[in-house]
Structure 1
Amino acid sequence: MRHCRVLDERDRDRVARIVDADPVVNCFLASRVDAGVLAPGGVGEVWGYPRRNPYALLHLGANCVPVNMDAEARAAFVDDLGRWRNFIAMVGPASDVLGLWHALCERWGESYEAVRVMRPRQLLMARSAASDAPADPRLRLAVADDFDSYFRAAAAMYHEELEEDPLITNPVGYRTYVRSLIEQRRAFTIVEGAEVVFKADLGAMSSRVAQVQGVWVKPELRGRGLSVGGMAGVTDAIVASGRTASLYVNDFNAPAVATYRRCGYAEVGALASVLF
């Protein structure tokens, strides 16, 4: 008998209570619940442990995301996963992700280091008020006419940050994803001439939090403060929508951390990412 249970719409209130305990940390799962992951035919699944009155959750889709996991829940999730794995990344609180990955490696007989990319400590930062820095007045939402330049910038960011070229590994899917960000008004940009020189996306968004992802500045313009004005504008737009602005950044990326701190972001936790 399985230790965990696939949750559905009847569990929505319980899932909401677990997620709402830390809406910044749990922004991704909240966004997936809002997108219908608990409904029949939803994309992905949410597992709960124990089967009755679950307190720990595991989102399984393209991303594997643990929520509120302790040692007992981790053992149950690992046992129920068995040899199954079709997710391409594991992301979440650092202790949860690294503990789960260690346990899975022991179960699967794999090397802990045998992954494409591992980010063991990423600073989770948040801001619930307008930016401390002035916004760049040129910042705006990207529109359809920006797509080609925005897509090139997004692919460059992805290649640089995740050590993978999406134009080779997933050209159609990534193109569709970037277009959807623009259509959903979740893509911010600064354009000079017809060229995108700054970009940032709202990669996950719940009713309470918006998580900024994909921040990129044209390489030749880095070090000139462009990212501060751009991020200040993105932050102000999120806060004006009634949400807390959040993001996570590699702890070794000192220039990016400095930018976010200049905009008033404070560290509120630590995440980890394992990419396969």
Structure 2
Amino acid sequence: MTHTTTRVLDPGELGAALAVLESEPVANAFVTARVQVAGLDPWRLGGELWGWYEGGTLRSLCYSGANLVPICAGPEAVRAFADRARRTGRRCSSIVGPAEPTAALWRLLEPSWGPARDVRANQPLMVADRLPDDIAPDPYVRRIRKDEMDLIMPACVAMFTEEVGVSPMAGDGGLLYQARVAELVAGGRSFARIEDGKVVFKAEIGAATAQACQIQGVWVAPEYRGRGLSETGMAAVLRHALADVSPLVSLYVNDYNTPARAAYRRVGFQEVGTFMSVLF
């Protein structure tokens, strides 16, 4: 039998970890971006990176931080990660990743970690590599400046609360969430259209590598919905992402959000896979 083991990666295994992560650049963009910036030190990374080894070779990973994320994980690796997660106890606010390993991981963890607050089993993963021919980018969508944090934060909180079902300001008073928004603004990855001092459309490039990036936090103010702002706004953010960040731009969306899926398709995004999220 082939010997398999699971353990926390040490800093000297950065190259091996990146080789696994970069084998699926779109699906793994979130964790890849964090590892490229922070390395494998748990304090800088914001969590641990677990490795599953087969015959001494690193084959699969699992990020364990605010999210639990299985990476390139087959059935054996998922079982090993579930065993480790049960032993350490739940520290994450969600399990998220490609649908098949995430569903398998949740089946194994649900008896001890359940019930979940929400399970979103079908979240299409979409990708675009060019601008649409028939939708002009909104010329009023621009990068948010560092001195506009007070302007963008209410929109970010509204989006998060609507999408996740809880306010990001709960718990620590929103300190971690505000820090994340500020990080994206400082990095030039927060975009919005502002009218009369109010954000009416916004989105961020949340994870970014040289191979792929991921758009997140897409939101239109309720009173402005139905006017096509999501399409022209997304075309504008897509233009920035392709020009300045990476040749592949991705996002994932809830399957039941029919208007958003239709808007993304019109902008040129195509479904290439499925994600799943388990929210606690």
For the aligned pair, the TM-score class normalised by the smaller chain equals over 0.9
Q: How far apart are 1:37 and its partner, in Å?
A: 4.0
Give me the whole-angstrom Cα distance separating, in 2, the residues matched to 1:8 and 1:86.
21
Give me the whole-angstrom Cα distance separating, in 2, the residues matched to 1:55 and 1:140.
41
Which amino acid in structure 2 is aligned with residue 91 of structure 1?
A: V
Normalising by the residue count of structure 2, what TM-score does the alignment of the two structures yield? 0.92
**Which blocks of at least 5 consecutive residues in structure 2 are unaligned?**
none
Determine the structure 2 residue equivalent to 1:36: 38
Q: How far apart are 1:242 and its partner, in Å?
A: 5.0
Contact persistence 2:53–2:60 (CA under 8 A): yes
Deviations 1:57-91 (A, max 9, x none): 10011111001111111121122223322111111
SS of residue paired to 2:169: helix
Instruction: Return the match for 1:220 from 220, 223, 235.
Output: 223
Give me the whole-angstrom Cα distance separating, in 2, the residues matched to 1:192 and 1:148.
15
Give me the whole-angstrom Cα distance separating, in 1, the residues matched to 2:238 and 2:189.
12
Determine the structure 2 residue equivalent to 1:120: 121
Q: How far apart are 1:183 and its partner, in Å?
A: 1.3
Q: How far apart are 1:50 and its partner, in Å?
A: 1.8
Determine the structure 2 residue equivalent to 1:206: 209
Q: How far apart are 1:40 and its partner, in Å?
A: 6.5
Determine the structure 1 residue equivalent to 2:108: 103
**Which blocks of at least 5 consecutive residues in structure 1 are unaligned?**
none
Which amino acid in structure 2 is aligned with residue 199 of structure 1?
A: K
Instruction: Return the match for 1:250 from 243, 249, 254.
Output: 254
Q: How far apart are 1:41 and its partner, in Å?
A: 3.8
Contact persistence 2:18–2:32 (CA under 8 A): yes
SS of residue paired to 1:35: helix
Contact persistence 1:37–1:45 (CA under 8 A): no
Which amino acid in structure 1 is aligned with residue 93 of structure 2?
A: I
Determine the structure 2 residue equivalent to 1:153: 155
Q: How far apart are 1:21 and its partner, in Å?
A: 1.8
Deviations 1:81-137 (A, max 9, x none): 23322111111001111110111124x2x54xx111211110100111223421000
SS of residue paired to 1:97: helix
Q: Pairwise mapping of residues 1-276 of structure 1 onto structure 2 (< 5 A)? A: 3-39=5-41, 41-42=43-44, 43-50=46-53, 52-83=56-87, 84-106=89-111, 108=112, 111=114, 114-132=115-133, 133-170=135-172, 171-243=174-246, 244-276=248-280
Contact persistence 1:131–1:235 (CA under 8 A): no
- Figure out how many residues of one structure are paired with residues of the other and give that number: 271
